Structure 1
């Protein structure tokens, strides 16, 4: 495995899914970061088939002007997977592949915890692959920094080692990683995503809470008094906070709201740690959620007032004209 420094043009707060999704789409869509920021939302499904809650953090941004979008693919044996990766790379120049953090040497979870992790792969030379991972974060397992390097067939096979199975929350994250529900191939095989004719968007199944404030309040109601639920959805709350901070980076006057979102995962981790010590500090979690909710309310009120002001001005001008 050879390695070269990975450039980081910005420090956008994205998840492992969206960081690699942006890296995959950017060669053909230079405005993808702005499009993703505009697409950020929060919706929560209350009756997920995987059990508990399911989270959707953004609308789909992968559909191109020809109506093609990404879809999961899988293969049970490595030779079939390698052939498919090679074909997709030859066709589109790159492919999104699903790695396994337990087998990614640059991951802070290397050798310990296995969870799905997207990387961008392309054929480098015979028997060699260029692999990049744009994700950057300080995680509970340690620091993840961007990676770019060359892996041979054996090393790539290891990096994409099938998980075998995943926790319900990880399955739910996989299922909604593109923004809306997608069919998943078995976790017992190698997995990747291919660009294909995008299906017509279907009405979301199940019962959803849409809108940032309603969804945020619903999550708070579920986790603030329940340390087990707090631990179960800690990664989803962390992901929501990162995407909201990414969205707010271009919103004037949103620094306090961004800071409140940044403090929320810290409070969640503190609450989990206090529960593990046998004394759950629910108050810290409740306070952090309340601060975020208050900041979102202020921003939404300011945005609503700003949108209404030109209309009022226009009405006043129109009235003056009629008086004349």
Structure 2
């Protein structure tokens, strides 16, 4: 591995959306603005699945979209990735977050993580960019990375030899807001541009949004803490917090758009989203010690719901969180529409 002298900038987004935003910035610059405006939470109480965006972020200009590809062997995967590079100059690939060589310490778990491959070297290496940054509760941390990997290094961090868990499969399917079909092979996965668009329909029954979604998340968090976090709901909440802080920062950056009172309203929601992961980590640690704090969790989400409700007219007035209709289809969240 060779590290570039300059790290890429980080937008402070989640492990899926950070490098998706980097891809879209080069492919369709206006999509970065759309990413901020798309942020919303929808929860399926029947499955516990999260949808973070009210527009299908994998839809591209010209009636094209990003779709998953998969292979059971490394050679086929590298051939597919090279084909995307040749045609589009970059490719998003699904990496194992726990196997990233630029990770310091330990990640939470081995989970899907999008990284950007944007070049090949003359000796068979690959240039990789990862703008994601995070601190992990176990003491590990990740900083943005740009550099060259050998073919062996790249395939090692892309490999999921046992496939994905049901939780991770559902997250992959809904990473862009609405279901995208999974590939036939999960050992190696990447994204390819193809003709067509992803329908903006959510699967299953009734999905909750707004304050009702935050109330449901509190219930899901408490249930997951009783099971020692096996569902990984805290990871979904952390992603939601990053997305909402990105939304608010994007709105605040628009000079002259907001009055001082409006800015205070947005600042209040940002502060609560920033505080939420730390508070939930404290609750999780307390639960592991046999001292669950359900009122701490429910109280935090109640306050957040009140702040989001107060800011909702402001967001809508400026084109944020103006959701598409949550039309449902009778299929599992991990399947395509």
TM-score bracket relative to the smaller structure: 0.7 to 0.9
| Matched residue SS, 2:290 | coil
Q: Equivalent of 2:71, from 47, 70, 75?
A: 75
Shift of 1:230: 8.1
Show the counterpart of 1:19: 18
Residue 57 (str. 1) matches residue 56 (str. 2): no
Structure 2 alignment gaps of length 5 or more: 253-257, 320-337
Query: Residue 248 and residue 128 in structure 1: after superposition, are their counterparts in 2 closer, same or farther (change >3 A)?
Result: same
Give, in whole Å, the separation in 2 of the partners of 1:105 and 1:29. Answer: 30
Give, in whole Å, the separation in 1 of the partners of 2:13 and 2:68. Answer: 21
Give, in whole Å, the separation in 2 of the partners of 1:112 and 1:281. Answer: 22
Query: Residue 83 and residue 303 in structure 1: after superposition, are their counterparts in 2 closer, same or farther (change >3 A)?
Result: closer
Show the counterpart of 1:204: 202
Show the counterpart of 1:101: 97
Give, in whole Å, the separation in 1 of the partners of 2:23 and 2:29. Answer: 11
Larger radius of gyration: 1
Show the counterpart of 2:132: 135
Show the counterpart of 1:218: 216
Show the counterpart of 1:121: 117
Number of aligned residue pairs: give it: 302
Q: Which moved more, 1:108-117 or 1:79-88?
A: 108-117
Show the counterpart of 1:3: 3
Give, in whole Å, the separation in 2 of the partners of 1:124 and 1:306. Answer: 41
Give, in whole Å, the separation in 2 of the partners of 1:88 and 1:108. Answer: 30
By relative contact order (CA 8 Å, sep 6+), the higher-ranking structure is 2
Shift of 1:31: 2.9
| TM-score normalised by L of structure 2 | 0.82
Structure 1 alignment gaps of length 5 or more: 308-324
Give, in whole Å, the separation in 1 of the partners of 2:209 and 2:168. Answer: 23
C-alpha RMSD over aligned residues: 2.5
Give, in whole Å, the separation in 2 of the partners of 1:306 and 1:81. Answer: 42
Shift of 1:306: 9.8
User: Retained in 1: the 8 A contact 2:178–2:200?
Assistant: no
Q: Deviations over 1:92-147 (max 9, x none)?
A: 10110111123211124669832111111133223111011110122224221100
Shift of 1:303: 5.8
Give, in whole Å, the separation in 1 of the partners of 2:14 and 2:247. Answer: 13
User: Retained in 2: the 8 A contact 1:245–1:261?
Assistant: yes
User: Retained in 2: the 8 A contact 1:230–1:268?
Assistant: no
After superposition, residues 244-283 of structure 1 pair within 5 angstroms as 244-249=244-249, 250-251=251-252, 252=258, 253=263, 254-283=266-295
| TM-score normalised by L of structure 1 | 0.85
Residue 289 (str. 1) matches residue 301 (str. 2): yes
Show the counterpart of 1:243: 243
Query: Residue 194 and residue 188 in structure 1: after superposition, are their counterparts in 2 closer, same or farther (change >3 A)?
Result: closer
Show the counterpart of 2:333: none
